[in-house]
Amino acid sequence: MLKSSRDSAGRTQLAFEDIEDLARGAAFLGAGGGGDPYIGRLMAEHAVREFGMPEIISVDDLDADTNVFPVAMVGAPTVMVEKGVSGADVDLSVNRLAAIIGKKPDAITPIEIGGINSMLPIVAAARLGLPLVDCDGMGRAFPEIQMVTFNVYGVSATPAVIVNEHLDTVIVETCGDAKRAEDLIRVAAIQMGLSVMFSGYPLNGQQVKDYGVKGTLSLALNIGRAIRRGRSEGNPFESLLAYLRSTEYFNRCKVLFDGKVTDVMRETTKGFAMGHCEIRNMDDESDSMHIQFQNENLLAKRNGKTVAVVPDLISIVDGETADPITVEALRYGQRVKVIGTSAAPVMRTAEALAVFGPEQFGLDEKFLPIEELHDDI
Amino acid sequence: MRIGVDVGGTNTDAVLMDGRTVMATHKAPTSANISGGIVNAISEVLTSAAISPAEIEAVMIGTTQFTNAFVERRELSRVGVLRLALPATRGLPPMVNWPADFAETIGDQIHLIKGGYEYDGRCISPLDEREIARVAKKLSAAGIDAIAISGVFSPVNGDMEARAAEIVQQELPDASITLSSKIGRIGLLERENAGIMNASLNAFASKVISSFRQALTQLNITAPFFISQNDGTLMKATFVEKYPVLTFASGPTNSMRGAAYLSSVEDALVADIGGTTTDIGMLVKGFPRESSVPVDIGGVRTNFRMPDILALGLGGGSVVSPTQPITIGPRSVGFRLTEKARVFGGDTLTVTDIAVAAGYADIGQRKNVRELSGEFIRSAVSKVHSMLVDGIDRIKTSSEPVPLILVGGGAILIDRDIDGASEVIVPEHAGVANAIGASIAQVGGEVDKIYSYDEIGREAAIEDATQQAIEEAIAAGAKADTVETIDFEEVPLSYVPGGAVRVRIKTAGELETC
């Protein structure tokens, strides 16, 4: 946790050097999706250099009526690696949302800790001079806007604002169904170039306390640190798994496979990076793993048998360094390991599975927790 | 018969190969004008094997000249950078992540211009041709003649980059222009970085290649010559003049392939011990294990295919502290070993001196290190070995012991078993493994073609492209049964109806004569 540098008001300070660890940990939680963590890191470092590091505030220290604004990038990771952000688009999305709801933002929160969307709130908070809440709405990454705990437990996704690099702005207001908001925003985002800034789900402090996945910024930071320290000590996997097992959410975890990427099929379609990859055991040709993704890795099968399924996390990492590899960076010939990790309990309830369980992605699978799929977890 | 040459920063090595047999080897210092060292090394091997230049069928050259020049920031041209993207990408301008000192060599002529494509082929903005012409005039006035042009989603559509090049060329007819779409893949920053690196090296590349040519002419060798590139295959010299960046990291690939060849071991650790560093890598089925994360070169991020190498600050010239506790490197006397080291009459204690004092290396004057105490020598020797053990442990995939192959001039510095290695192999000709690796580099075939998946299906399309790439490799001289796919990439072109996909396949195989 970040407690070491907390002051009396419960605020903590992130060091500039922490951004790299945070980006690495967030990429792991991105489960293949959420965009290139390196691009996110550069954006955050660029903004922090110019505007200073935002303060981190713990969920426990929020007042019930604090106005908390989520910020995220919506689009396809395959597009983000080409287009990045421009900066003014981030400010505009928050400021427009504030004007529409008539409330001044008191804090920014990540809504998706996995991938680049852990970094973008740092950019927004730094640019706007606001604190950042140690929390998100997934504890991982997901491709669609309705797939967050705030929606599961009844917070409206709208009004929502999206802005592109031309500063074209689209405001979405719906009857309250977040899936409809997703559908409308996706169509607009495609037209706007598939790399747009989003601000929606305006929250108050009480809603964040009740429905947020708490402490995930700290968790991502510590995951990133565990990988880095493990690497310098010679075994990043041991260090990573040991840390995950010590956490409240991610304590069921396992290396699911070790092999070489032998096929990647990836297409930017319907507003997402869709496809699959095949990983083959280098010592046994007949042993392979098939992973299906929609921005994020959704389903891992070993020789036809399911070994992990969404919302549990399926992360592909470098076979030596344990650096997370995103879907758009997967390449023929890479040596990788696949790690399966339990999602936060709040993500595995019946209500939650009705929003982001396997069926919601069109998969013909029932959700089975990773600890039930394996005897040794 | 073939000649393999390795032009390193310190030495130029040459080997003469007849099929798979090493006929002669020679090590000569790299000369300032490069060609002198090559002439010396090659004429030496020809003379000692009594072979006439006419019998040489091919010359393969591996060189770290371009990597070294870039890392050391020398011989680099100032580059004008044009990115076709506005209003997108403003948050991360070109060279945003480069070490600051590059501004002094490559410069700060960075221009963001309206243009670029969306992922589906639509324009972000129409290309601002007037702005390009204006920028070209400005670059011309500033005396810049190396240009790097990048554009958002140029691998999907390279037209804007090509058009921008035409406009720049009108203003700067002699400029060398690198288009990012010709070198890199999806990922704007890395592709653009590769383009800028390439442009900065174009002038030096012409100089180096003409030195190679001059050397071969002087030796009366008329056989074609090839340069090895970072994926372990060979390319024609004329191609290197245009794309020097593709030679980056070919050095470690050559030395590891050479180690596999000399030892006949296909799965092993390889430590290439030089004067300043030890490069450790892992051989998997005769090829270096690749790094799957983007690699920094001279502090600049790229997305080239590269072997996964750990560089330790341990070499024959590494400086040893004369008192306890003993420290070794990373400072090294480098190529001045033969004047600085104690055994050569110098005043600096080096790892080479330790090996001589311990009695397992026999070079220079052993009497010069006689005053070192037995205890000091023992702890220094054990420090050298523990550094190597530590490095090996970091690159290994499992705790299972694997063979360790030692190559490079510094292989003599190691004299005992290494923890984590099942055996330590020092093959014959270990000192010139690099040049041998260059001489057995593979030949490749490449296909880059657009298919309609709706019409023929993905599998048939990939099969067709693979077949063509294999045939191309065979036509270039590869043995049919050794040709394999080494790279494969698909870029769906969503803007073209009919499920159009750009398929890029690279194959490589061993030369028929090897």
State the Cα–Cα distance between residues B88 and B107, nearest whole angstrom: 23
- A 233-252 residues with CB below 8 A of B? 234
Supply the pLDDT for residue A8. Answer: 47
Q: Is the pLDDT of residue B476 over 60?
A: yes
Residue B109 belongs to what domain range?
A: 80-203
Mean per-residue pLDDT for B97-101? 88
Question: Residue A78 and residue B289: Cβ atoms within 8 Å?
Answer: no
Mean per-residue pLDDT for B361-376? 92
Give B-chain residues touching A19 at CB under 8 angstroms.
Answer: none
Number of domains in chain B: 3
Q: Which CATH fold would you assign to the domain A250-362?
A: CV3147-like (2.40.390)
Q: Could you read off the pLDDT of A213-259 as tens digits, one per residue?
A: 999 999 999 999 999 999 888 789 999 999 999 999 999 999 999 99
Task: Name the residue of chain A whose CA is nearest to B395's CA.
Answer: A320
ipTM here: 0.83
Supply the pLDDT for residue B483. Answer: 93
Q: What is the CATH number of the domain that holds B359?
A: 3.30.420
Nearest CB to A42 within list B97, B294, B393? B97
| Residue with token string 């977890």 | A377
Cβ(A141)–Cβ(A66) below 8 Å: no
Q: Which two tokens stand for residue A329?
A: 């960076």
Q: Could you read off the pLDDT of B10-44 as tens digits, one per residue?
A: 788 999 999 889 999 998 878 888 888 899 999 99
Q: Is the pLDDT of residue B513 over 70?
A: no
A90 confidence band (pLDDT: 50, 70, 90):
very high
Cβ(B162)–Cβ(B132) below 8 Å: no
Interface with chain A: mutation pick from B112, B119, B496, B506, highest number of A CBs within 10 Å: B119
Q: Is residue B32 situated within a structural domain?
A: no
> Which residues lie below 8 Å from residue A86, measured CB to CB, with a gap of 6+?
A165, B87, B88, B89, B90, B91
Size of interface A-B (CB pairs under 8 A): 110
Cβ(B66)–Cβ(B235) below 8 Å: no
DSSP, res A249: S
Cβ(A256)–Cβ(A308) below 8 Å: yes
Q: Is residue B38 situated within a structural domain?
A: no
Q: Are residues B367 and B466 in the same domain?
A: no
Question: Residue A333 and residue B152: Cβ atoms within 8 Å?
Answer: no
Mean per-residue pLDDT for A125-145? 94
Q: Is residue B467 situated within a structural domain?
A: yes
Q: Is residue B171 situated within a structural domain?
A: yes
Question: Residue B397 and residue A42: Cβ atoms within 8 Å?
Answer: no
Q: Are residues B282 and B186 in the same domain?
A: no
Q: Are residues B415 and B287 in the same domain?
A: yes
B495 confidence band (pLDDT: 50, 70, 90):
low
Nearest CB to A78 within list B90, B186, B458? B186
Strands (E), B286-397: 287-288, 295-297, 300-302, 310-312, 318-320, 328-332
Q: Are residues B398 and B499 in the same domain?
A: no
Q: Are residues B293 and B413 in the same domain?
A: yes
Find the helix or strand (DSSP H, E) in which B25 lies.
strand B21-29
Give B-chain residues touching A330 at CB under 8 angstroms.
Answer: none
Supply the pLDDT for residue B397. Answer: 63
- Least reliable range by pLDDT among A287-291, B144-148, B229-233, B261-265: B229-233
Q: Is the pLDDT of residue A122 over 60?
A: yes
Q: Could you read off the pLDDT of B53-67 as tens digits, one per residue?
A: 999 999 999 998 898
Question: Which CB contacts under 8 angstroms, 24+ apart, belong to A357-362?
Answer: A357/A310, A357/A311, A358/A298, A358/A299, A358/A309, A358/A310, A360/A147, A361/A294, A361/A298, A361/A310
Q: Are residues B400 and B451 in the same domain?
A: no
B35-49 and B188-218 helices, crossing angle to 10°: 50
Q: Could you read off the pLDDT of A1-31 as tens digits, one per residue?
A: 333 344 444 446 789 999 999 999 999 999 9
Q: Is residue B173 situated within a structural domain?
A: yes
Say whether A111 sits in a helix, a strand or coil.
coil
- Least reliable range by pLDDT among A154-168, B205-219, B224-238, B391-405: B391-405
Residue A43 distance to chain B (closest CA, Å): 7
% of chain B with per-residue pLDDT over 90: 54
CA dihedral A357, A362, A366, A370 (to 10 degrees): -60
Rg (CA), chain A: 19
Q: Are residues B350 and B386 in the same domain?
A: yes
% of chain A with per-residue pLDDT over 90: 75
Q: Are residues B151 and B275 in the same domain?
A: no
State the Cα–Cα distance between residues B477 and B22, nearest whole angstrom: 20
∠B513-B227-B249 over CA atoms, to 5°? 115
Q: Is the pLDDT of residue B136 over 90?
A: yes
Say whether A281 sits in a helix, a strand or coil.
coil
Per the prediction, chain A carries an average pLDDT of: 91
Question: Residue A82 and residue B187: Cβ atoms within 8 Å?
Answer: yes
Supply the pLDDT for residue B293. Answer: 66
Q: Are residues B381 and B456 in the same domain?
A: no
A37-51 and A18-29 helices, crossing angle to 10°: 150
State the Cα–Cα distance between residues A227 and B221, nearest whole angstrom: 53
Q: Is the pLDDT of residue A50 over 80?
A: yes
Supply the pLDDT for residue A234. Answer: 74
Q: Are residues B273 and B378 in the same domain?
A: yes
Give B-chain residues touching A332 at CB under 8 angstroms.
Answer: 485, 487-489
In which residue ranges of chain A is CATH 2.40.390.10 found?
250-362
Cβ(B432)–Cβ(B440) below 8 Å: no
User: Residue B199's closest CA among B133, B303, B296, B102?
Assistant: B102
CATH node for A5-214: 3.40.1610.10
Supply the pLDDT for residue B330. Answer: 81
In which residue ranges of chain A is CATH 3.40.1610.10 found?
5-214
Task: Name the residue of chain A whose CA is nearest to B501's CA.
Answer: A267
Q: Are residues B104 and B85 in the same domain?
A: yes
Supply the pLDDT for residue B34. Answer: 84
Q: Is residue B358 situated within a structural domain?
A: yes
Task: Name the residue of chain A whose CA is nearest to B309's CA.
Answer: A320
Q: What is the CATH number of the domain that holds B131?
A: 3.40.50
Give the end of a domain, one of B431, B461, B480: B431
Q: Are residues B503 and B380 in the same domain?
A: no
Give A-chain residues touching B85 at CB under 8 angstroms.
Answer: 83
User: Using CA of residue B307, residue B308, residue B312, residue B313, what is the dihedral sign?
Assistant: positive
A195-199 and B268-273 as β-strands: parallel, antiparallel, unpaired? unpaired
